[in-house]
Structure 1
Amino acid sequence: MLDHSQLQDYVAPISKWELNHDTEYSDLQIGATIDAYEEGAWPDISSADIILLGAGEERGSLRNSTNNAPDAIRAAFYKLYHWHSDVKLADLGNLLTGKTLGDAYAAFTAVVTEMIDAGKIVIILGGSHDLTYAQYKAYASKQYIIEVTVADALIDLHEGSPNRSQNFLMDLFTEQPNYIRHYNHVGFQSYFVQPRMLETLDKLRFDCYRLGRIRENLDDIEPVLRNTDMFSFDISAIRHADAPANTLSPNGFTGEEACVISRYAGMSAQMSTFGVYGYQHEKDKDGLTAMQIAQMMWYFMDGRSVRNKEAMLHERESFLEFHIAFSDIHATFLKSKKTGRWWMQLPDNTYIPCAYSDYLLASNNEIPERWLRSQERS
């Protein structure tokens, strides 16, 4: 376990005055309530629920070594109002630039590992998307077996590319020993993805959700995130109109949909890291993308507040029970009276997160795909 002085070797302080142009924050603005690492003042990590960490490293995308993206996002986030008194925030500042990309990964992994081991949730204000690999290494370094979800218009499996941000998934999937129990990819856009990539991921029993499929019923992605330990979100998954710094595609999630997905992530009792990557400040018209990310973070906090109110599955008085037989299979569905979320029973009597749509399918004597996929993996 690293002490404060050792953690400070990896991060640089921020300045609230600079972020807010030399003016004080209003009462209950996040900038006034967050406990941040400023010059000479280390935050009280022990009492915080969510930790912010800036990581502007971009060498993995063949751009400049670092950028000021984390502070641009902070400036927007700190101006929002703190509605969730039961969710306490701390900000560790920005990771220092290492001599090499490997040094940057190592520092990132070291700090995030400490926060996970302390039982904290970490929101990473990231640089290029390859930092997802360092995010994963924080778990692998402790041999934690996890479920990973990535939101991205692309699937970064281009093995021959010199651009690290285009091939980092190869290491995630092939590195031995491997600690990924399951992988989900959400929001990919088919015209950007080589079909054989999807075939490969399907053979690994990984789940990929096309953008159009998710937009048809956004609630179906909530159970995916409820089971997720590590979430990586590339802003290329958001359409250009709602995130002008995304110059990949005019299509993608709307800003509102990205906020709903972030809220679902915050509601997950499994979730311990949430990284937002791919933001290039210099491309951001009127700072709208920074504000979009800030609002996603706000909704993540909102989800965390909802999570605090959820009952445990053994507290059956807090759930409605529905007993159903489909295709000669008898199963129980549970619906939380507090949050409206659903769970589905498997043949081994364990429960997995599911959606209302799964319950409707079972009610019509159809086997839900989520049930089938879970059985295949087991």
Structure 2
Amino acid sequence: MSDFTLLHDYLLPISKAGLNDDQEYDDFQIGGVTDAYEDGHIPNLDIADVILLGVNEDRGYGPGRKSADAADIIRKAFYNLYYWHRGVRIADLGNLRKGASLEDTYAALQTVMAEVINSHKTIVILGGAHDLTYAQYKAYAARKQVIEVTIADAIIDLKEGSSVPEENFLMEMLTEQPNYIRHYNHLAFQSYFVHPHMLETLDKLRFDCYRLGKVRENMDDIEPVLRNSDLFSIDINIVKHNDAPANTLSPNGLGGDEACSLTRYAGMSPKLTTFGIYGYRPEKDRESLTAKQIAQMLWYFMDGVAVKNKEALLEERDAFYEFNIVCADIVTLFLKSKKTGRWWMQLPGRGKEDEFLPCTYSDYVMASNNEIPERLLRHQERL
């Protein structure tokens, strides 16, 4: 990515001084260590681990619903935090130029993200309506890369007949041909907002949907889902109103700390290359509390990246404990990382290092008791 001119025409620089009220950031604040695109300064993207991109595109919300400067308000809160992960290098591309139409913005975002993905970097998108997830997906489709997608949203955006992009973008994303989605996971939906037939349809497609209560019941069960994901997208409506006042959809949702756990799990994923946090409406916020919540979610994402960077490869068997289990007359191998404590189970009949499914300790316990873990059953069904 040394040739910044490939991206320059799509981007607008930011001003660190403007974000920090004309004060310099401390060397230990995130604003002090982030290599940002400013007038006169081009970030070194080659050495970055994580690349930030603001997208102040609000047309996906529908007519008359504007949320300008969402990315910069989040960025201001994030830059003020102290950074404990010096080994994780952050670059900031500034903000994407809005296109003449929403489709033009999609195309520009797709181009920038595809370039970052090609360079084996992780890109984080801030701001904008949730339909920008579609452009996130198209960056992979343009490369004909088959991926696993995970979305966290209180609603499932499959509203047929709606002209509002953020309400129906999933329909096009999941059904267009050719399609490059190998598997789809939906996290933290709230049942009273979702038509039962919609869930039945997704289940028939062998997609996995986890209601809010299921996610909150055992957050650790969600970590393997994110560990296997290439694309992760969050609508901030998953966080309950008290913890994210800009979410006016529902008083219920994940707690702020639980949302931080999700983003930390995402950062720990060795496969994840794009991560978007959408749906922030500054005009609905109170004391910028939602922006601060998102900033802390980003902090925990970086914490997860720091953990990922320490994890061994599966073929480095000295870094794992090995457990051979006979379950339902099938011999399978479980691995536990000595560095992070995470678990993997070998897919029956595969026998290759790369044919391991991320799992949890509870899956290992089930297999030890001669019960086939549901995670494995669902995976076999999809195959």
Is contact 2:67–2:282 with CA below 8 Å preserved after alignment?
Answer: no
Q: Which secondary structure does the structure 1 equivalent of 2:326 belong to? A: strand
Q: Could you tell me whether the CA contact under 8 Å between 2:2 and 2:45 is conserved in 1?
A: no
Alignment check: 8 A CA contact 1:66 1:97 kept: no
SS of the aligned residue for 1:167 comes to helix
Give the deviation of 1:312 after TM superposition.
1.0
C-alpha deviations, 1:324-353, integer Å up to 9, x for none?
222222211111010000001111232110
What amino acid maps onto 1:78 in structure 2? Y
Once residues 234 and 66 of structure 2 are traced to their aligned partners in structure 1, the CA distance between those partners, rounded to angstroms, is 21
1:20 deviates by: 0.5
Q: Which SS does the other structure have where 1:331 is aligned?
A: strand
Deviation (angstroms), 1:364: 1.9
Partner residue in 2 for 1:137: 138
Distance 1:243 1:269 in 2: 29
Q: Does the Cα contact within 8 Å between 2:61 and 2:129 map onto a contact in 1?
A: yes
> 8 Å contact 1:2–1:114 — kept in the other structure?
no
TM-score (norm 2): 0.97
Tell me how far apart the structure 2 counterparts of residues 315 and 74 of structure 1 sit (CA, whole Å): 38
Q: In 1, distance between residues paired with 2:3 and 2:109? A: 16
How far is the alpha carbon of 1:66 from its aligned partner? 5.7
Distance (Å, rounded) in 2 between the aligned partners of 1:190 and 1:68: 32
TM-aligned CA deviation for residue 5 of structure 1: 2.6
2:45 pairs with 1:50: no
Letter in 2 for 1:105: Y
Shift of 1:86: 1.0
For 1:72, the equivalent position in structure 2 comes to: 73
d(CA) in 2 for partners of 1:38, 1:64: 29
Mapped pair 1:98 → 2:99: yes
Residue identity matched to 1:188? F
1:317 to 2:318 alignment? yes
Answer yes or no: is 1:291 the counterpart of 2:296: no
Q: Where do 1:4-153 residues align within 5 Å?
A: 4-62=4-62, 63-64=64-65, 67-153=68-154
- The aligned amino acid for 1:118 is S
CA distance in 2, matches of 1:248, 1:22: 36
Describe the superposition over 1:283-330 as per-residue Cα deviations: whole angstroms up to 9, x where unpaired. Answer: 111111111111111111111111111111111111111222222222
1:374 is the counterpart of 2:375: no
Residue 65 of structure 1: how far off its partner (Å): 6.0
- Structure 1 stretches (4+) deviating beyond 4 angstroms? 63-66
For residues 138-186 of structure 1, the C-alpha deviation after alignment (integer angstroms, 9 at most, x for no partner) is: 1101111110000000000011111110000001111111000111001
**Paired residues, number:** 378
Code of the aligned partner of 1:329 = I
**Alignment gaps of 5+ in structure 1:** none
> Which stretch of the first structure deviates more once superposed, 58-67 or 217-226?
58-67
Answer yes or no: is the 8 Å Cα contact 2:67–2:283 preserved in 1. no
Once residues 27 and 273 of structure 2 are traced to their aligned partners in structure 1, the CA distance between those partners, rounded to angstroms, is: 29
In 2, the alpha carbon distance for the partners of 1:95 and 1:58 equals: 12
Residue 344 of structure 1 aligns to a residue whose secondary structure is strand
Q: Is the 8 A contact 2:30 2:78 kept in 1?
A: yes
- Structure 2, unaligned runs of 5 or more: none
* Residue 85 (structure 1) shift: 1.3
Shift of 1:363: 1.8
The answer on 1:162 being equivalent to 2:163 is: yes
Alignment TM-score, normalising by the size of structure 1: 0.98
CA distance in 2 between partners of 1:367 and 1:126 (Å)? 41
Show the counterpart of 1:261. 262
> Which is worse superposed, 226-235 or 346-355?
346-355
